[in-house]
Structure 1
Amino acid sequence: MAGQIDSALWALNAGQTSLPIRAAKGPLRFIATGKALPVVGTDQAVSLVIMDGLSRLAEAGPKTTMGVQGQSSAGATKKNWKFKLRNHAGKKLGVTYGSWPESTSITLKAYGSFADGSMALDRSMIREAVAAELWRQIRRNSSDGDNRIAPWYAWSAGAAAQSASLLSEALFSTDSTPVELYWTDGSTDPQFLGLYMWRSNNDPDSYLMTPDHQSHCLLQPQHAPPDLWSRPDYLSGQFWEFMSPDAPDPSVPARLIEWFAAILDGRASWQDWPDYLNLRSWIDYKVFSEAVGSFDSLSNNIILGSWTATASTGLWDVFVYDLDETLGCVWGYNGNADPADIGLITAQSTLWTAFSEHFADRIAARWRELRRAGVLSGANLTAIMTRYAASMRPGAVLADQAAWGTNSISSHAYIATWFEQRVRWLDQQWGGAD
């Protein structure tokens, strides 16, 4: 009888190509089984079991692969992992966790430190998730009723939007959830590798876009120089990565960049913004970046997107990405990023400085609106942190810190205090909640 049940389960798993996983109630646990733990540059075949506490939620077949994810992670002590999922028949397996879009891969972010200890990086493991949720709350909060992260037409712009017409929880960013990762070669009990954050993929469908829709433009700069926003020629080079459409036309985003360049050299004016920008998106991005101290968000970890773009028309939005260097984790400061002394984030960009000067009154008004609403408050940030840390077992946190270390900027108290001090300093620039 047991053999018949096993055969039936194998057949069911072999035929499955889409696997919904309910949001975990307890600690989410991954158990990977393979011949050897992968090293940088190699993938290993593994099987993967996903558990909610002691309850088995799902599994991926033995042709699933596991490898180190990310260039920065390759040089860190604790490395990111990426699983490319296959069912028991070896076919691609799409996984949907909670309300996240389906993906055939899983990325586990490690938030490890550099081996030489040269930089204090995030070891709280919730910084990125907390900052992204804060941005989403900013985008959804408005006194005029415009409470969507994206403009209304994003929900009716193509196949992705049609299939998700009721997807009120569309992220337009990434979300994360804690995972305890265990490894075994099959001959020993599973070994605890660490506590990680499963981060949702940053694919076009997270933005209600489809890559075969030519006006669905989604692109990200890659460690670009400060003049990124005035150099349309960079769009055909190494500094921009197109995520959508499949056959990108650089002349489409060039229209926006050329307008920025013309503003900076006096040939154009910000008064023409209704032809180019979803202005609330850009103002909210400015306010958010200043609030969390996101220095890496102007010419690297920023997403530029449009659902209506052509070479002659269309409005552009901006979105957040990769936010572990926020909330007091600032490159080069090694744990000493004073909330006031670091000044304004956008001062490092000529374009964003010009934007901030022209729209100063609107930016200050938006800041005060969000302060009055309680979105930009220490109490709200603490509530968000509590939400993401809730399913982290204290024992797993301690075991991860024992294995991989921690630092002074990674306590919840440090993050909350830094944010409250940063908000008070920005109140002095823009006026407080009252």
Structure 2
Amino acid sequence: MPAESADNSSIPATKKVLIVGNGGREHALAWKLAQSPQVAQVFVAPGNAGTAIDATNVSIEASDKPGIIKFAIENEIAFVVVGPEAPLVDGLVDDLQAAGIRAFGPSAAAAELEGSKVFCKNLLRASNIPTAEYQTFRTASDASRFIKDRYPDSEQDVPVVVKADGLAAGKGVIVCSTRSQALDAINRIAGVREFGEAGDVLIIEERLMGQEASVLAITDGSTIITLPAAQDHKPAYDGDLGPNTGGMGAFCPTPLIDAEMMARIERDILVPVVHAMKRSRRPFRGILYAGLMLTAAGPKVLEFNVRFGDPECQPLLMRMKGDLCEIIEAVIDGRLADVDPPEWDERPSICVVMASEGYPSAYEKGRVIKGLDKAAEMSDVKVFHAGTQNIGTTVINNGGRVLGVTAIGNSISDAKLKAYKAVKEIRWPGAWCRKDISDKAL
């Protein structure tokens, strides 16, 4: 395993921390924060079968603001880490701070950077930050008319991406190549409302060509610490085929982004966004996640998220050395400039997501998962739970993305070998995964 923490042995382990969420990201955060010499106990609300091993689960849903606030006050929680995007967009950090509770994550106003793709695109355009050209529409008929007028020949290529404006669990983005695909995507989002209120407004933007990468940064609104770049695998199937998902795996670092490219991303994208948010009176504190397309003209923004990516968080934290608690508290207190950036294990890591049969569409829950103990015994491997639940001593699948099998190795291929060896130990009826996670790096 990577080095667990810096030497803060002089600081007593007295702090109690609450993490909000129940995914693989939250399990990774709980696992990492539990290693801090300052942290005495980690709670996760509501958590999953994995967080029950590395922390203490609390039966409070992420959407239950009064319950979270009450628990934090009664248990003298030092700070709350809000994992998922929905409670951030819903203003959980604002409500926690109003109750006198320290919280890590952006305000509701700042979280609109992810909560509304239209807000994000307009901010990027106004700040001259490179991104795809786009148009916004409020009705399916207007959007369909735009496609038919711009592409009158039904046989011609239509390289566009159709996006729901609001949150859609990573699935409201439809990549199109033909006119019929674009019209179908418009109907799904704004016609039959497949993604609900997220489709009240939709975006049609040019389809950028290149390779995707994810660059995450920690910021207190003034100082930025950029984390090693990762690559996510959004499409469901091998070869980047099939529908978009919340992410089927990730690896870190990606060879696509060297020091020169990272400096360019910081200069042209990350710093300008933080400044733009400050000018908009929406100062950003927390995790700023840039989803990028590395085009022939340079890096361009596909999207911004306002929290750790899932599954990017898992391989990132496998490599992080030092005390995550120290960094989080520095962000909360607005003193990130006083903290040294974290060191990183030189070895790369990869995360392979094991999913339920049918995901990202309908899937069955309640299937017994076997082999977790064998996988846990493997060297340099950590199985982060996402859609799991304990029923007595049995672990069952309780979601679409079920496990994030994460490994660190001397090379990408070594990490991949270890991860997939662990995957082979784990089974339940209908379990599946992509077989090509990290192959882009090879």
User: What's the TM-score, normalizing by structure 2?
Assistant: 0.28
In proportion to residue count, which structure has more helix?
1
Say which one has the larger Rg. 1
In proportion to residue count, which structure has more strand?
2
